[in-house]
Amino acid sequence: MSHFLFAAIGSFGDLHPAMAMAREAVRQGHRATVASAAGYEEKIRSAGLGFRPLRPEIPRSDAELAYFFDLRKGPERLMRNLIFPNLPDTHADLCAACADADLLVAAELVYTASIAAGARGIPWVNYVLAPNSLFSAIDPPVLANEPWFHAFRHLGAWPHRLAYLFGEWLADRWAASYHALRQEKGLPRGRNPIFQGKHSPRGTLVLFPSAFAPPQRDWPAGCRQTNFPFYEHGRLDPRLEEFLSAGEPPVVFTLGSIIAHFEPRFYEVAAAAAEQLGIRAVLLTGRNPRIPAVDPERIFAIDYAPLSQLLAHSRAVVHAGGIGTTAETLRAGLPAVIVPFSFDQPDNASRVRRLGAGVVLDRRRISVRSLAAAVETVLKKAALRDSARQLAREIKSAPDLAESVVLLQSLARDPARG
């Protein structure tokens, strides 16, 4: 039996994949601990998993969330003002968490994984959840801060290779604390942790299926692709179950576990759009205080519901394009209207559109009229429904979570690697 330590920083979209793999590791007879924000301790322990605190926590005030999720400047602000200033704390927490672990499995943003694992003498593997984390120039992502640059993909790989070189130079200025920590530990400078430095020499687990983004020859060496790490948890609220059984399947409106908290106007527009179309709807509002007055027979508002169960009774989804919600929508075979905000969302949205399973709506142009028109499109266009259902079949046939955990063990034990 091995002791797996899964380390994740961020929202539920970052936490749930770690918890899904940890629970599967336990099912396979191993011990599993999740290192993450202190605010998640109860959630993690209630799932039967060990917990260790890992700083920093993502801020929770509406103003701070809006600041870090700005469409253009959000990623830079997160790195410069949160992740790298707190890197010494991250490293201290991670070293403590690794004390009795046999393998460290690190998510995006856990940039001290290589240093902590080296200090403890244990192997480590990293994983990525979305294609934009791999910075392919052959299949380039839509960059949240410069989405217009994606148009240059038709010129070949070289424009994005140049862009990544500039990005690495710029990101090195943000990562001064990372390079200082390596120097303090007597280690060579290393590669930039946002780009190449986050990948383990033992391998990178790619947790999205080839149906969503096929493998590319310029991915980092050692990438092993499996499938979305679906996290099954919770039950539907009985009131929501009653609503679902009382009429036709609804359209689900959700902005995920972070953005829902600072975009109150979205749900007012969503409710009005649903009423204009005469459709039933479920609004997943988070802790948003401005819940619109709605007809309870047609529209049901609730702070949270497990998507895997809710989407089994739904007909379409309007969401922000986070990889977790994108994955659940594709698995359910539902067409989507995607309203991306920042980080991986613009690229995930673009991929869904190119796969023919949804449409993209600019968040700056949301109105009752534009949202109603987009929802009407995905409800009426058979080609979108057909593409979504085909993708669902391909996702269900891809390697499952059990295979991902077995692969983690294989990468950790391979003496030819790192």
Residue 229's CB is within 10 A of a number of other CB atoms, namely 24
Each residue's pLDDT tens digit, 351-360: 999 999 999 9
Q: Which CATH number is associated with domain 3-227+399-413?
A: 3.40.50.2000
- CB-CB contact of 20 with 401 (8 Å): yes
Statement: residue 12 has pLDDT above 50: yes
How large is the average pLDDT for residues 162-167?
92
Each residue's pLDDT tens digit, 180-209: 999 999 999 988 999 999 999 999 999 999
The most distant pair of C-alpha atoms in the chain lies apart, rounded to whole Å, by 65
Each residue's pLDDT tens digit, 207-247: 999 999 999 999 999 999 999 999 998 899 999 999 999 99
Architecture of the domain whose range is 238-397:
3-Layer(aba) Sandwich (3.40)
pLDDT of residue 306: 94
Statement: residue 289 has pLDDT above 60: no
Residue 137's CB is within 10 A of a number of other CB atoms, namely 18
pLDDT of residue 261: 63
How large is the average pLDDT for residues 363-370?
92
Statement: residue 275 has pLDDT above 50: yes
pLDDT of residue 224: 95
pLDDT of residue 71: 72
Task: Read off the amino acid at residue 66.
Answer: A
In 61-186, DSSP assigns E strands to 103-106, 124-128
Provide the mean pLDDT of the chain: 92
pLDDT of residue 260: 65
Statement: residue 415 has pLDDT above 60: no
The lowest-confidence range among 130-144, 157-171, 278-292 is: 278-292
Statement: residue 418 has pLDDT above 60: no
The Cα 220–Cα 338 span in angstroms is: 29
pLDDT of residue 362: 92
- Binning pLDDT at 50, 70 and 90, where does residue 257 land? low
Q: DSSP state, 100? A: G
The Cα 173–Cα 179 span in angstroms is: 10
The Cα 246–Cα 234 span in angstroms is: 22
- pLDDT above 70 covers a percentage of the chain that reads 96
Where are the chain's structural domains? Answer: 3-227+399-413, 238-397
CA 36 to chain centre: 15
How large is the average pLDDT for residues 375-397?
97
The predicted model scores a pTM of 0.94
The Cα 45–Cα 53 span in angstroms is: 12
Statement: residue 416 has pLDDT above 50: no
pLDDT of residue 62: 74
